[in-house]
Copies of this chain bind each other. A is one copy, B any other.
Amino acid sequence: MRQSQMIIPTLKETPADAEIKSHQLLVRAGYIRQTVSGVYSYLPLGNKVLKNIEKIVREEMDKAGSVEMLMPALQSSDLWKQTGRWYKLGPELMRLHDRHDREFALGATHEEVITSHLRDEIKSYKKLPLNVYQIQTKFRDEQRPRFGLLRGREFVMKDAYSFHTSYQSLDEAYDKMFQAYKNIFSRCGLNFRAVIADSGAMGGKDTHEFMVLSEIGEDTIAYSNQSDFAANIEMAPVRVTYEESKDGFKKLEFIDTPGYKTMNQVSKFIEQPLENGIKSLLFKVDDRFVLVLSRGDHEINDIKLKNALGTSEVELATEEQIKQLFKADAGSIGPVNVPEAIEVIADYAVSVMRNVYCGANQTDKHYINANIDRDFKITSYQDLRFIQEGDPSPDGLGTIKFAKGIEVGHVFKLGTFYAEKLGAQYLNEQGKQETMIMGCYGIGVSRTLAAIVEQYNDENGIKWPVAITPYHVHLITVNPKDKEQLELSEKIYDQLQMENISVLFDDRKERPGVKFADSDLIGLPIRITVGKKASEGIVECKLRENGGEQEDFEVTSIVEKINSLIK
């Protein structure tokens, strides 16, 4: 394509509202333009990379046996009311009325629509399992759209849905999708992890998030430095064998801790490390209260606590509730002499502690040298804390490290939630009605685009991986007024097109400096420069990847040269 026929409005300055690299570079290099907050147009280069990603997604989904279809954005509120999502989703769900005042949602996802199709069309176990996907535009009215394509209000997603007669069949589909996702993100050149995630409150089973590692990610991933274990830190089990302390029991002491309320304050005041203290938090669990203990340097993980207590909601007790029950401030409560009827549970790490300090259930008082069983009782030990860097990996291989991640994909064993709500049933082999079992599988296509740019850039611009780049070759004529340079460029342009090598030909009448800067910004992998040596049939080649190194070569070998570089 001739650059003169394209709209590639490059910018020298970084747009004021663009906080992260992908947003800055996609705007500066002329790939996207915002039309209104959180809504973007993909200019020709942006559209090309989007389509390249879509192609990879299609190929891998097809290969994994999923079948493409296309569902509408306009969705009747009726379906959403049946699943309850009409009420549960707040203003993120975009809503409108038609001319007859009927309510519609603009699809944020398509569980409702696809489940209603299967309910209406699939009546027998013989027609299951099925797995369908679409690549389609989604809408979500973000409270605060930001980060360019990473958190927009209109975006391109691939969403897939599978339907089964057994959990075993769901597991098989899930594994296939899992593998397809690994293939997709690998082909996109991404450094990513498949991360164990929280399946939430919708009755689902397993779920993984595919996270692209990036400093600007909003999620923290705990991963092993020696295996492929990775989990959202909320979901990473702690498998530490804590060493029993060998110290003898010391005498319990009751001390003043005037105004010292936090673990850190108390630890400093009594000059003992955090690890010697017990942190005591009172939680309201359904209608009762539970005192939850952890080692002073550990953090209690709500999700683990919920799972341990078999409930879907836990919340910290209020100051008032604590006062009423303990007659003490929150900063001074502890496990010694807890009010009756309050259960005390603890994280495993607490079980081996000896001679600890802890709140004394009187405001501004603490105990030191308290000991389990001698001074207080614990009903049960559980895995309740967040994993930490340096902990052993739960799979026994290596040590945990933390990284930030951008979620680009999600696979989820949904179970029967939607099928039950919408009545998606089939006749089983015995002629009995059963509810379909579902999985769903999403990829943020436009988000993946941004994530790639986050991982592929330098101070001069984008550096596209070959599989995604809008064109393989950037062909630049240094001086188009020089007849020899222009003719040779045109010849090369024709030749590359004939050989099906995709090429962007900078035929603009701009200064060479402008062309080279734009070229770095746009970030095509191979640059061919036709300059002064055109008359000798020599051109320059530079790879975007490795900075400034130019290499002269004879134009006669250009196709070979480029093909070997693309490989």
A residues bordering B, Cβ < 8 Å?
1, 4-7, 9, 33, 35-36, 39-44, 46-48, 50-51, 65, 67-76, 91-92, 94-96, 98-99, 102, 104, 106, 113, 116-118, 120-122, 126-127, 130-132, 134, 137, 139, 141, 143, 153-154, 509
Given contact pairs A1-B67, A5-B67, A91-B99, A75 touches B44 in the complex (Cβ within 8 A): no
Ordered nearest first, which 6 A-B pairs have the shortest CB separation? Answer: A96-B96, A91-B99, A9-B121, A42-B70, A36-B76, A44-B67
| Whole-angstrom CA separation of A521 from B265 in the bound complex | 78
Cα–Cα distance between A34 and B502 once the two chains are bound (Å): 40
Known: A65-B5, A117-B7, A121-B7. A39 touches B70 (CB 8 A): no
When distances are taken between beta carbons in the complex, the residues of chain B under 8 Å from A1 are 67
Of the candidates B67, B102, B113, which one forms a contact with A35 in the assembled complex, judged by CB atoms under 8 Å apart?
Answer: B113
13 other A-B residue contacts (CB within 8 Å) besides A7-B67, A39-B72, A73-B139: A7-B118, A36-B75, A36-B104, A41-B71, A41-B113, A43-B117, A44-B68, A44-B132, A50-B70, A94-B96, A95-B96, A98-B141, A99-B143
Known: A70-B50, A73-B154. A117 touches B41 (CB 8 A): yes
- Complex Cα spacing A116 to B1, Å: 24
User: Are B120 and A33 in contact (CB-based, < 8 A)?
Assistant: yes
**Of B91, B121, B153, which contacts A74 at CB under 8 A?**
B153
| A43 in contact with B69 (CB, 8 Å) | yes
Asked, given contacts A7-B117, A39-B74, A116-B35, whether A69 binds B47 with beta carbons under 8 Å apart, the answer is yes
Measured between beta carbons, the chain B residues less than 8 angstroms from A39 are: 72, 74
Residue pairs across A and B with Cβ atoms less than 8 A apart, 13 shown, are A7-B130, A9-B121, A9-B122, A39-B72, A41-B113, A42-B70, A43-B117, A44-B67, A46-B70, A51-B68, A73-B139, A73-B154, A137-B137
Cross-chain contact A154 with B72 (CB below 8 angstroms): yes
Residues of chain B within 8 A (CB-CB) of A106 are 96, 106
Contact A137 B73 (CB under 8 A): yes
